[in-house]
DNA sequence: CTGAATCCGGCAAGATACTG
DNA sequence: CAGTATCTTGCCGGATTCAG
């Protein structure tokens, strides 16, 4: 169990501003998903969160810890090791997250259309017409 | 139907940063709730959203409109009147919002406890210990 | 009444460099 | 490996003022 996190675990434009539903800060939702199947190490988390800097990842993890959604465990070994894991409270968020994802998936086309329609108003009869 | 919006429709510290689930920007979730039972006027919306400035309300409304979640209708009458209303897409968000609210209500105490515990680490054995 | 214009402070997010 | 320190930039939210 607890296989490697795939580098392409998330879509290229994730987190997308197109979804109106957010969990925590910019990266929190993705981090929670990464922890869904067991504890993960700091560096391990950086793989699917392409390009996230250590500082930003630390910030987001601290926020989740503060909210009681994840726990942090440091091991005193030869090689430094720190693991993050979902708390029961954090795990209870998976339900609402699934609902949010289902909604986004179902209405993605509508969201795209709305955005496009707003950007290109009909023949100039926009707000100023 | 479509009674007045109560000034105390929302809790005093709403929107609260305590809930990790957000809908749109800071005010979007509350605006959507305001529109749940029918169209509302600009000034009418300002009542329950205590103290929101016209600029910020306009911004949030524009964002919701851009996302296809609400529609805007201006009436050419003696007194200027503009109404905002949920689109079917916007209305479809009420489900996920109910889920989010139920989650927050159920786990509110845990969230408070987590926050408090994080602020006051046990006898100094905090991160730096 | 329903905004638009302008200005501002604060904070989020990232780049970069450094550390135990 | 798992961060911290520092700096910079951009955006968010709000105050104030003005307009159709």
pLDDT in tens, B62-75: 999 999 999 999 99
Task: Report residue A125's pLDDT band, with 50, 70 and 90 as the boundaries.
Answer: very low
Q: Residues A28, A60: contact at Cβ < 8 Å? A: yes
Q: In terms of Cα–Cα distance, which of B76, B93, B78, B80 is closest to B29?
A: B93
* pLDDT tops 50 at residue A124: no
Contact B68 A21 (CB under 8 A): no
| Length in residues, chain A | 129
Q: In terms of Cα–Cα distance, which of A84, A94, A99 is closest to A45?
A: A84
Q: Rounded mean pLDDT of A101-126?
A: 82
- A75/A81 Cα distance (integer angstroms): 5
Residues B40-55: tens digit of each pLDDT = 999 999 999 987 999 9
- A76/A79 Cα distance (integer angstroms): 8
- A66/B116 Cα distance (integer angstroms): 9
Tokens of B14: 């709403």
| Burial (CB count within 10 angstroms: exposed 0-12, middle 13-18, buried 19+), residue A78 | exposed
To 5 degrees, how large is the angle CA B51–CA B52–CA B55?
A: 140
Residue B2: what pLDDT? 67
A42 touches strand D (CB under 7 A): yes
| Burial (CB count within 10 angstroms: exposed 0-12, middle 13-18, buried 19+), residue B18 | middle
Q: Which nucleotides of C are covered by protein (CB under 7 A)?
A: 1-6, 12-17, 20
Provide, as residue numbers in chain B, all residues whose Cβ is less than 8 Å from the Cβ of A22: 21-23
- A87/A79 Cα distance (integer angstroms): 25
Residue A50: what pLDDT? 86
* pLDDT tops 80 at residue B120: no
- B107/A69 Cα distance (integer angstroms): 11
pTM for the complete prediction?
Answer: 0.90
Put simply, the chain A residues between 63 and 82 with a CB less than 8 A from any chain B CB are 65-69
Provide, as residue numbers in chain A, all residues whose Cβ is less than 8 Å from the Cβ of B61: none
- Write out A34-88 in H/E/C secondary structure: HCCCCCEEHHHHHCCCCCCCHHHHHHHHHHHHHCCCEEEEEECCCCCEEEEEECH
Upper half-sphere CA count for residue A14 (Cβ side, 13 Å):
17
Contact B113 A68 (CB under 8 A): yes
* pLDDT tops 90 at residue B118: no
């Amino acid at each position: 169990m607890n296989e490697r996190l795939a580098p392409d675990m998330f879509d290229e434009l994730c987190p997308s501003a197109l979804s109106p539903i957010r969990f925590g800060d910019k990266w929190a939702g993705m981090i929670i998903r990464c922890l869904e199947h067991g504890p993960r190490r700091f560096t391990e988390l950086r793989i699917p969160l392409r390009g996230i800097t250590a500082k930003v990842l630390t910030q987001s993890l601290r926020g989740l810890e503060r909210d009681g959604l994840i726990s942090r465990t440091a091991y005193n070994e030869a090689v430094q090791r720190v693991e993050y894991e979902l708390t029961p409270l954090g795990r209870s968020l998976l339900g609402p997250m699934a609902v949010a994802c289902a909604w986004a998936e179902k209405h993605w086309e509508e969201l795209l259309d709305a955005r496009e329609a707003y950007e290109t108003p009909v023949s100039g009869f926009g707000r100023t017409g």
